[in-house]
Amino acid sequence: MRKKELIEKKNDLITRAEAIVQNAKSEVRELTDDEAKELAEIKDDVKAIKKKLLASDVEEMADDKEKKEDDAPKEEEEEKDTAEEEKRAFENYIRGTVMHERAGELTKTDNGALIPSTIVDMIIKKVYDICPILEKSQQFNVKGTLQVPYYPADANNINVAYANEFEELTSSTGKFSSVTLTGFLAGALTKISRSLINNAQIDIVSFVVDEMAYSIKRFIEGELLNGTDSKVTGLSTLKNGIESASATAITADEVIQLHDSIKDEFQGNAIWVMSPATRTALRLLKDGNGRYLLQDDVSAPFGTTLLGKPVYVTDNMSDIAKGKTAIYYGDMSGLATKFSEEINIQILREKFATQHCDGVVGWFEFDAKVIDEQRIAKLTIKSA
């Protein structure tokens, strides 16, 4: 018997039982022996039908699970096939191979072709992988202007005090500020040699992904660390920090001071950011017991640690020079980044044909500002 028929039969039996009970009530009498016997039979029949329905539900659940398990590999395989097809189409376009009409063909424009989403996702992922400042920042992906509220480090927001019953607590008003994130258009251009493209031994897709990711990373990271007047300010407006006593060197005491300028509650995800030359200078620093402050650590995210925290090195940071910021330290979630426009990447073939190369251009719109100065501090070299 099908599930629908079982449900209908159960409902009929329940309706019959209700009618027997209601009839006895309306006549103001007890149930007869025959009525009591019929009710007992109905109860047993309903109980048996419920067991059958439960078994039917379990079978349906098992069928659904089996169907989902069967469909999951198919969906994964389809996604994988689409990714491989787009990758082949992208490689064929770059190398100039004739392409047939199919789902993986690139969208043509007047001056080239748009890179498929599979390749763009690979580039964006690589940008985040190789740019820890961006990856660790507080990220927003929204269009238009964004107001991000925050409490200043020195704000006395909430009063906590002893109190007595039946007495009013003294209230306090949080004095919060806000940071406005807009959007500034930026572009990254990488040119790739046609001789390299025509070399069949080279994995040209991986090469383009790497080159484009590094171009975008280098620009975004430079703006996050140094900022540009009237554009993205990044960490350039940060006030929390210390100044070195010397215009040409950094001492071990100053490194410790910078470390301790961040409260313990924000130390968990803190990192050091500096140039290669600054790291070399810090390798020579020792504590009061003659131990080097900077240690090589293969288990650390970037291979070296300073006072137990990872050291990230980048050419976007200034070396030790008068008036320059030589080191940032802290939790980079104190920096907010906003992307108004998703990264759009395009291959330009005709534009650079006279240079025997292809261009890969990426456009994006972003902004970045400090929203929590308690989390990040800087060491600035003395001006004179």
- What are the pLDDT digits (tens) for 360-378? 888 889 999 999 989 999 9
Q: How far is CA 333 from CA 133, 153, 173, 328, in A?
A: 9, 15, 26, 13
Cα(306)–Cα(292) distance, rounded to whole angstroms?
9
Evaluate if residue 132 carries a pLDDT over 50. yes
Q: CA-CA distance, 342 to 344, in Å (whole number)? A: 6
User: Which range scores top for mean pLDDT: 107-116, 141-150, 165-174, 315-324?
Assistant: 315-324
Ranges 33-47, 207-221, 235-249, 290-304: which has the least confidence = 290-304
Closest alpha carbon to 224 in 353, 116, 301, 338? 338
Measured CA to CA, the distance from residue 92 to residue 204 in angstroms comes to: 10
Among 13-17, 216-220, 295-299, the minimum mean pLDDT is found in 295-299
pLDDT at 124: 83
pLDDT class of 112 with cuts at 50, 70, 90: low
Specify the pLDDT at position 290. 81
In the predicted structure, residue 58 carries a pLDDT above the cut 50 = yes
Global pTM exceeds 0.85: no
Name residues whose C-beta falls within 8 Å of residue 332's C-beta, 6 or more positions apart in sequence.
132, 133, 136, 137, 269, 271, 375, 376
Whole-number pLDDT of residue 113: 57
Which region holds residue 303: left if phi is over 0, alpha if psi is between -120 and 50, else beta?
left
Residue pair 236/242 in contact by the 8 Å Cβ criterion:
no
Q: In the predicted model, what is the mean pLDDT of residues 103-108?
A: 49
How large is the average pLDDT for residues 208-237? 91
Burial (CB < 10 A; 0-12, 13-18, 19+), residue 144, is exposed
Report the pLDDT averaged over residues 12-23. Answer: 85
Residue 273 has pLDDT above 90, yes or no: yes
Question: Average of pLDDT values for 210-219?
Answer: 88
Predicted pLDDT at 171: 59
Please say if the pLDDT value at position 203 is more than 70: yes
Q: Assess whether pLDDT exceeds 70 at residue 67.
A: no
Task: Name the least confident of 73-82, 85-94, 264-273.
Answer: 73-82
Tell me which DSSP letter residue 380 carries: E
**What is residue 101's predicted lDDT score, i.e. its pLDDT?**
39
- Supply the pLDDT for residue 28: 81
- Give the CA radius of gyration of the chain: 34
Residues present in the chain in total: 384
69 vs 258, higher pLDDT: 258
What is d(CA 328, CA 226) in angstroms, rounded to the nearest whole number?
Answer: 11
Mean pLDDT in the chain?
82
- Residue 278's SS3 state is helix
pLDDT of 103 > 50? The answer is no
- Residue in this structure with the two tokens 């269009």, named with its chain if needed: 143
Q: What is the pLDDT of residue 99?
A: 43
For 108, 185, 216, 324, 347, the CA distances from 363, given in Å and listed in that order, are 17, 7, 9, 30, 12
Among 112-126, 189-203, 216-230, the range scoring the smallest mean pLDDT is 112-126
The encoded tokens of residue 84 equal 């491989």
Q: What is the pLDDT of residue 130?
A: 86
Q: What is the mean pLDDT of residues 116-143?
A: 86
Quick: pLDDT tens for 157-200. Answer: 556 666 777 777 665 555 667 788 999 999 888 888 888 877 76
Inter-residue contact 297 to 305 (CB < 8 Å):
yes
Compare 75 and 219 and report the one with higher pLDDT. Answer: 219
Task: For residue 139, give the amino acid letter.
Answer: Q
What mean pLDDT comes out for the span 254-278? Answer: 94
- State the alpha helices, DSSP H only, in 160-262: 194-197, 204-226, 252-260
The mean pLDDT of 201-211, rounded to a whole number, is 82
Residue with more model confidence, 102 or 7 = 7
CA separation for the pair 286, 211 (Å, rounded):
39
- How many other CB atoms are there within 10 angstroms of residue 181's CB atom? 23
HSE-up (13 A, CA, CB side) for residue 291: 7
**Res 122 pLDDT > 90:** no
Residues 95-110: what's their mean pLDDT?
49
Give the start-end residues of each E strand in the chain: 107-109, 112-114, 138-140, 146-150, 177-181, 184-193, 241-243, 271-274, 294-296, 304-306, 309-313, 325-330, 335-348, 357-370, 376-380
Give the residue among 339, 322, 300, 58 at the shortest CA–CA distance from 182. 339
Residues of the chain above pLDDT 70, percent: 83
Of the segments 112-116, 181-185, 378-382, which one has the largest average pLDDT value? 378-382
Residue 132: how many other CB atoms lie within 10 Å: 18
Among 105-114, 290-299, 339-348, which is the least confidently predicted range?
105-114
Helices 117-130 and 33-95, interaxial angle, to 10°?
A: 90
Torsion region of 307: left, alpha or beta (phi above 0 gives left; psi -120 to 50 gives alpha): left
